[in-house]
Structure 1
Amino acid sequence: MHMNKGKSIQQCLKDRTDYAQNPEKTDGGILVSSYECDPKLVEEQFALAKREYQHNTGRENNNDVIAYQIRQAFKTGEITPEEANRIGYETAMRWTKGRHAFIVATHVDKAHIHNHIIYNSTNLDCNRKFRDFHLSGIALHKVSDIVCLENGLSVITPRKPSERSKRTVYPQRKSYREEIRESIDICMEQKPKDMEELIKLLQEMGYEIKRGKYVSLKGRDQKKFLRMRSLGAGYREEDLEKVFSGESAFTPDPKQQRTDENVYVKPEPKVDMLLDIQAMIAKGKGPGYERWAKVHNIKQMAQTLLFLEEHGLRDYDELSEKARAASERFGEITEKQKALEARLVEIAALKKHIINYSKTKDTYAEYRKSGYSKKVFEEHREAITLCKAAKEAFSKIEGKLPKIKELNQEYSEVLQEKKKTYAEYRQAKQDMKDLQTAKYNVDRLLKSEQSKEQDEKQKTTEQTL
């Protein structure tokens, strides 16, 4: 780890160690251990050792390595987080021979448990530095393998280059704009009345909103805001305003959507509704419209008959039952999806309260010891307010308070279920639309036939008279 331009040694060290000790990744900071340093003050102690080294040797630290990092991963499901942290500590001790201070942070936010080991380049006596050497990576690999084998863990079996499999197809990553477009799709299914209601739904999904000349959005993992006008046709503010005003339907440009198998692509409509030609003519439509509408109705009736044939629907009662069942299933999936989305919001809020509480509980304890002094409250208003809000949220939870790791796991499971449900939701909606449209067209056709029969009977009666 080298110094970043424009930053001090301590600032650079803090950036690295803060990431390693992130409470959301280390079970609230429980899975962090250290040797000859305090994890909370590690950047200050590392920097102090470097100042002492400079004083003892007279050498400058310019363009020098300030620390080293080891990343050590384990096979999924083979080790507990606590055991992984112990293995990481033992590996670091053997590698540094106990001559350098280090921290071991075990991350549990991914499917595979892994360690981030950061050790000071300056030794404990502050008179020498660790120097990387030729093939040090191979030497470190062997040290890690020995520790893992001694503890009955798996290691990667070395293979010749000719035996190694090469990945030629790389999974395509969704861009942030694609994720925003998918989120807008989900919100638009809930039929918002205007842009304000759409923005409110996006905020409930976890997006930050920035207003100005243009509306900008930022998701949970985004580093910067993205303007809605950059999302492409169908998702720009002016396009959505036309949808809300009734000028156009919500039909985003398919060129903006990915077409790989994991992303939903809106299918072409199989069946469309028959038009009421007489009603439209009565509103002032001309002969040209009448000719087009008749051709359209003939095509759609042919499509309807093909649809009924493909699905084996030759009985009207069966068609009615299928349309009713499809409508009920669509309603059930919609309710399930809303429940999953609500749970995601609850988990995110609870995680935030747990993290806030761990940061502010000591301040609140001092406030309570002071007899709830107004002076202390004003000095630490924000921390005390956050702690109170967290305690109030905890009081509403029945049973034991879950850990960050458990919440992360549940959030991941609920999110996967929501994605799966959304695919089912899309399919259920399409099935319901196709069946109801087919039933509507059959009803129109039967009504038209009955009307023709009545006209024929009336003509026959008039001729007889």
Structure 2
Amino acid sequence: MATLKHINSKNADYGAAEQYLLFEHDEFTMKPVLDETGRLIPREDYRLSTLNCGGEDFAVACMRANLRYGKNQRREDVKSHHYIISFDPRDGPDNGLTVDRAQALGEQFCKEHFPGHQALVCTHPDGHNHSGNIHVHIVINSLRIEEVPFLPYMDRPADTKAGCKHRCTNAALRYFKSEVMEMCHREGLYQIDLLNGSKNRVTDREYWAQKKGQAALDKQNAPMIAGGITPRQTKFETNKEKLRQTIRAALSAATSFENFSSLLLREGVAVKESRGRLSYLTPDRTKPITARKLGDDFDRAAVLAVLEQNAQRGVTVRSIPQPQPYAAKDADGVQRLVDIEQKMAEGKGKGYEHWAKIHNIKQMAKTLNVYQQYGFTSPEQLEAAFDTAYEEMRQTSG
């Protein structure tokens, strides 16, 4: 399942990109790893090549081109674009993918889609997560030094001219993803659909938050494990992952959108709909998280589809006669009021407070309905009826 990732860089030091590709770096801080003598540690295995650099070093060639055309001189200018093609770990043993073959594919991809750009192509045999996925880094100077043909992802004449800059638009990135899928299909490699999103959309920031949190949790649990104590928590979950689990739990029990919203409010999560899109506000945030950042399973269309399926299953279940040994409890019966102050003191958020207020109002209304249904007109009359019933019960029981 090859994936494509894009990063643009405003770093004017083109040598930093080459240094990252050639030497070991800390996966969290992205700083070079040094040995005992303070020297950089070369990576164990890699393939490296340059394109359109005229025999010069990549960094030197890029700086010469920038000076010649007077581009990339400001701090806010995007100096380079970094594309990463990561192949499935199974492609090695199953499909014969090697580092050399991946390097050749990366060079061909760069020549076809980034012509006229000075480029650095480097292949690593494994990622920082040690999953065995071969991946290719393609770093290009944002400046184009040669005039090129009009390619499918380009949308204006300047995209072909020398002295103009590469633009990675949404349409261009979508085109590159489709080309990666086509390349994998042609080469007989594993591939997933890169164009239609994913059920769980994990951003780069969330990925690293999970990695750092897991590392901190493992460090915290190490003394307990050494002492023979089983830690209560061994897997770190980000706030977004916890939100996904909360939403899925509510979806599994809801049959309507109102019911779904109510179940989420009980957990302190407020769901909002705006312009046909859903967003979720957790107690610890002031800005809601859009469904797009959580995954396709949490957008409006997917949520309504699940609710419709739940409603249909509910109708089917209710249509089957079931033996009732005793009278079922009325679903609309009066429930106890929620002590909001106590719950807030326990750490509940604004979302729970909002739900509790509505819950208490509904229960008070139901209490009044029951009160009037049995003909009571005052609290004294209710108390007298209670005392009478209690005396009758005592006399009956002897």
TM-score normalised to structure 2 length? 0.39
TM-score normalised to structure 1 length? 0.34
Report the structure, 1 or 2, having the larger helix content: 1
Please identify the structure whose Cα radius of gyration is greater. Answer: 1
